Amino acid sequence: MAIPHDTSEAPYLLPPDEDWEGRGVPDFIYGQEELMAGGVQWPRTASGAPAACLPLSRFDSALCSAWRQRMELGLFRYRLGDLQTQTLPGAVGFVAQLNVERGVQRRRPQNIGSVRQAFDPAQFNFNKIQPGEVLFRLHREPGLPGALQQEDILVVINVSPLEWGHVLLVPEPSHGLPQRLLPGALRAGVEAVLLSSHPGFRVGFNSLGGLASVNHLHLHGYYLAHRLPVEGAPSEPLDPGGHLHLLRALPAPGFLFYTSGPGPGLESLITRVCRATDYLIDREIAHNLFVTRGAPPGKAAPSSALTGVRVILWARKSSFGIKEGEAFNVALCELAGHLPVKTSHDFSTLTEAAALTLIRDCLLPPAQAEEVQAALVALAAQDEQ
């Protein structure tokens, strides 16, 4: 299935004279009716192969047209072509992609030494980007649930893209918020997934120590035209109310939260997830988070229907900076089964076993993992009281 390449949403394109400084940031305003809870699936042709294209939502059209224009204008560090992609043989179904340019040309990570490190305005942050890197401001219509906690969210290109349409969701950059997940940011991420009609549009978050390279609050969003293991991995409930589940399946065990769509269930999910990430940050535990359309918790399967949104949270060992010499670095997409590989040699020789070894090296020791699980179960139990 192809990644969207629509160019019809002119309001989000830069003017021909490229007068970026004098141009206001356009607003993308959306309402409840655009949040697609169901009906978005991986389509198939009569032969069983993935379909060539999908109808685009208004959000997809706006994002992809503006993103493609910025690529043509040379605002990225490299021009992203069709990435060589393979599914690694084995039970997991890792999707490996060769992305040499990102490995070489991405900005060096900031000097970070703590999951709770304060924002430093002297370091690179999203108030220092070129105006043309901003695509639009994501804004909810008044009256939607959670509107009192709404932040303006800038949708900004990632100048070192993982894949087509790779953007950053940056809440209120002028506020100088550190890289700590907040309810408004998570809500914007989940609703961005619901705004897309492409099942491969995902959103994620890396904490400090979880390979976030910039200590300024942001989430990642990007398109990947492949199923990932976490979409339909089976899970088991950890609390009587079924609000918290454990994914035991490979590539890594994680905590699963699920919502069938917008409304009270989504607001409850946001509260539960942010309570969990607050617990981890207060105890200096790094973490990664991944938002994808997926199957309900339980005995799902890789081909299960995408009836809602899965939010998967992984607690992990802290890792500061980029590790040289490894095939890939373990962050939000790798834990979900998407492996951006740095060199041709590693891409041609990488095996499922080697990938799992790299990922397992980043996970918490068993005793600490059990302690975290017990604490998150206790937090979930508070919802039942």
Q: Catalytic residues, which ones? A: 218
| Residue 315: partners with Cβ closer than 8 Å, 6 or more residues away | 255, 280, 285, 286, 287, 364, 369, 372
∠ CA 346-5-173, nearest 5°, is: 80
